[in-house]
Chain A
Amino acid sequence: MLTISHVGRRFPNGTEALRDASMSLQEADFVALLGPSGCGKSTLLRLIAGLDQPDSGNLAWDGGPPVAGDIGFVFQDATLLPWATAEDNVFLPLRLRGQSRSAAAPAVQAALARVGLTGFERARPRQLSGGMRMRVSIARALVTQPRLLLMDEPFAALDEFTRNSLQEDLREVWRSAGCTIVFVTHSIYEAAFLARRIVLMTPRPGRINREIDSPLEEGPERRLSAAYAALVAEISHSMAAALH
């Protein structure tokens, strides 16, 4: 789907956020970008989204560059329009593509249903919990049926119970939607639970250090399995070695 080759980015203040980053994304992939703060995870995500441009290297898309709606983005904060209902927030990407409300209604309803928010269509963001707001944000990203869903530490500000629940729901969404997900996190446990491939990044300057394929099987006991514990241990050791 996307090949990233030797990409670098230096900000105008001189900070080298990313150096010589190379990786590829396959269709229906689930990749976690894992690393401490300042390792260029979010910068790489913004480059993939086209919200920023690399100073060196290139990003080559199979079948040409993405058009509006091909990429969904979920930020750390839900970043909803506070004056709009959940329904209107989810409708926004389709509205920006020129669709009428009536034409977009089935897709909006389906996106809200996919994240378990049927019945909350008319609720305003302030009437929803942090987890529900994040679900609206995910529904908004899914409503255009994107090929690629980019998520920048979306669960970092949530409590552990909500986070676990959303992680499980996100895997369900990924399986049913069939899109590729790139998920930025600094939680080893989150990366190990969610992704099929974990990309370890190190800071100063931000680099891709190593990729680890997840051996975990699908299933309800995924978080409790010995394989999960082993994967967490492997990632922890790899990250410790990379950082020192």
Chain B
Amino acid sequence: MKAAPALFGLLALALWEGAVRLFDVPVYQLPGPIAIVGAFLADPVGLLGSLVSTLAVTFAALAVAAVLGGAMAVAMSASRLAQAAIQPWAVALQVTPLPAIAPLIIIWIGQPFAALVVCATIVAFFPLFANTATGLASPPAELNDLFRLYGAGRWHTLAWLRLPAALPYFLSGLRISGGLALVGAVVAELVAGSGGFASGLAYRILEASFRLEMPRMFAALVLLALAGIVMNFGLGAIGQMVLRRRGDG
């Protein structure tokens, strides 16, 4: 049963390779898996270096989004004024398409890495913010009453009730935002790459598409997909481990 996904993947790859060969599909239209692996092996250092660059942007953005999203959710839960001030802007940030504002951000910030991190942070921010805010508001009214009854102040209620209650929500948001940070990093790199920044995997994809090097483009895409899968499972495993150690099961 455990081997089923791998076996299905291998079967799909074999069918793909067979179809490409059988129908004699030109490599600039659709390369087969063997050609893609060949393209990767032709320049592993270049492609993996670009992957590291993209992941550096992704993790930096995820860290910034976690700190900002968590802090703003706490501020919002602590004060109605902060809620009124923050919430519309957070929603505005969520619905603004990154490709539309990325060129501006890149121009304004100037420093490429920081600009890419800001772009990816914008995409990754909202799930962390919204999930943490939901978690902070999740304790039942009876528990809030209990804390009031025992004279708990705002900070004790935050530290011993709301923040612990928000942890599973925050971790779930972290997992969602991990994938979004990667997407945000790639989109920002695509915009930046077209502006002359040569660094991440998105730039490799652009570069390969301009040169019609489809196997190399696919190799970069596969690396991105693998990175996304590993991040998703990794962040999920970290979340489960944290909750298990806390005793949530």
Q: Assess the B248–A83 pair: CB atoms within 8 A.
A: yes
CB distance from B4 to the nearest CB of A (A): 31
Residues of B within 8 A of A51 (CB): 145, 148-149
Per DSSP, chain A at the interface is: loop
Q: Assess the B140–A124 pair: CB atoms within 8 A.
A: no
- Which of B142, B150, B151, B248 interacts with A79 by CB under 8 Å? B142
B152 within 8 A of A: yes
- What mask results when residues 178 to 196 of chain B are scored 1 for a CB within 8 Å of chain A, else 0? 0000000000000000000
Q: Assess the B152–A82 pair: CB atoms within 8 A.
A: no
A241 within 8 A of B: no
Q: Assess the B142–A77 pair: CB atoms within 8 A.
A: yes
Number of A-B contacts (CB under 8 A): 56
Q: Assess the A96–B152 pair: CB atoms within 8 A.
A: yes
Q: Assess the B164–A79 pair: CB atoms within 8 A.
A: no
B156 within 8 A of A: yes
CB distance from B217 to the nearest CB of A (A): 47
Residues of A within 8 A of B140 (CB): 77, 79
Q: Assess the A124–B151 pair: CB atoms within 8 A.
A: no
When C-beta atoms are compared, the residue in chain A nearest to B145 turns out to be A51
- Which of B142, B152, B161, B249 interacts with A75 by CB under 8 Å? B142
Chain B residues within 8 Å of chain A by Cβ, number: 20
Residues of A within 8 A of B148 (CB): 51
A68-B151, A73-B149, A77-B140 known; A92 vs B160 contact (CB < 8 Å): yes
Q: How far is the CA of A83 from the CA of B171 in the complex (A)?
A: 15
Q: Assess the B151–A96 pair: CB atoms within 8 A.
A: yes
- What mask results when residues 48 to 68 of chain A are scored 1 for a CB within 8 Å of chain B, else 0? 011100000000000000011
A51-B145, A75-B142, A83-B164 known; A92 vs B150 contact (CB < 8 Å): yes
CB distance from A88 to the nearest CB of B (A): 10
Q: How far is the CA of A46 from the CA of B160 in the complex (A)?
A: 23
Q: Assess the A124–B249 pair: CB atoms within 8 A.
A: yes
Q: Assess the B151–A81 pair: CB atoms within 8 A.
A: no
CB distance from B232 to the nearest CB of A (A): 25
- What mask results when residues 117 to 153 of chain B are scored 1 for a CB within 8 Å of chain A, else 0? 0000000000000000000000010110111111110
B246 within 8 A of A: yes
A244 within 8 A of B: no
A206 within 8 A of B: no
Q: How far is the CA of A124 from the CA of B161 in the complex (A)?
A: 16
Residues of A within 8 A of B143 (CB): 79, 81
A85 within 8 A of B: yes
Residues of A within 8 A of B248 (CB): 82-83, 124
Q: Assess the A95–B249 pair: CB atoms within 8 A.
A: no
CB distance from B180 to the nearest CB of A (A): 27
B247 within 8 A of A: yes
Q: How far is the CA of A50 from the CA of B145 in the complex (A)?
A: 10
Residues of A within 8 A of B161 (CB): 81
Residues of B within 8 A of A93 (CB): 150
Q: How far is the CA of A97 from the CA of B140 in the complex (A)?
A: 22
A126 within 8 A of B: yes
CB distance from B31 to the nearest CB of A (A): 51
Q: Assess the A95–B145 pair: CB atoms within 8 A.
A: no
When C-beta atoms are compared, the residue in chain B nearest to A93 turns out to be B150
